[in-house]
């Protein structure tokens, strides 16, 4: 295992539902990420939290709302999603040291989301 745990593994939701994805890392890292993986498309970086502060928000629609209560936990709150939001949502973590980038990302196994 990578030390990054995501729940649930699978989620089916209607367009009017509200749900949350959870990620927990057991590696002592100080940066956490949400990525979206769709078929035949590059992994898309959605959000970055470094030292529990959001530092990146790559033009993600407001129907996706991240939360990072501490350095070990990351949530992605979902509401009024569209069918095109169906994808694998991956959480990752890394250890950043000052301005020196330690690029190794540790990914969880993802949540496969289907929006009906």
Partner 1 sequence: QQQVKQSPQSLIVQKGGISIINCAYENTAFDYFPWYQQFPGKGPALLIAIRPDVSEKKEGRFTISFNKSAKQFSLHIMDSQPGDSATYFCAASKNSGYSTLTFGKGTMLLVSP
Residue 72, token pair as written in the block: 């070990």
Per-residue contact string for residues 24-63; x = within reach of partner 1 by CB under 8 A? -------x-x------xxxx-x--x-x----xx-------
Paired with 53 in beta bridges are: 50
Closest CA to 106 of 74, 76, 77, 78: 74
Closest CA to 95 of 84, 86, 87, 103: 103
- For residues 32 and 78, which CB has a smaller minimum distance to partner 1 in the complex? 32
Q: Which residues lie near partner 1 (CB under 8 A)?
A: 2, 4, 31, 33, 40-43, 45, 48, 50, 55-56, 90, 92, 94, 96, 98-101, 103-110
């Amino acid at each position: 295992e990578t030390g990054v745990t995501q729940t649930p593994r699978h989620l089916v939701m209607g367009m009017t539902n509200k749900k949350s994805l959870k990620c927990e890392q057991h590696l002592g890292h100080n940066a956490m990420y949400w990525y979206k993986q769709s078929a035949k498309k590059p992994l898309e970086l959605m959000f970055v939290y470094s030292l529990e502060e959001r530092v990146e928000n790559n033009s993600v629609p407001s129907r996706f709302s991240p939360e990072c209560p501490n350095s070990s936990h990351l949530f992605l709150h979902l509401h009024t999603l569209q069918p095109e939001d169906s994808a694998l949502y991956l959480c990752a973590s890394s250890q950043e040291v000052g301005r020196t980038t330690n690029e190794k990302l540790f990914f969880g196994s993802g949540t496969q989301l289907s929006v009906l």
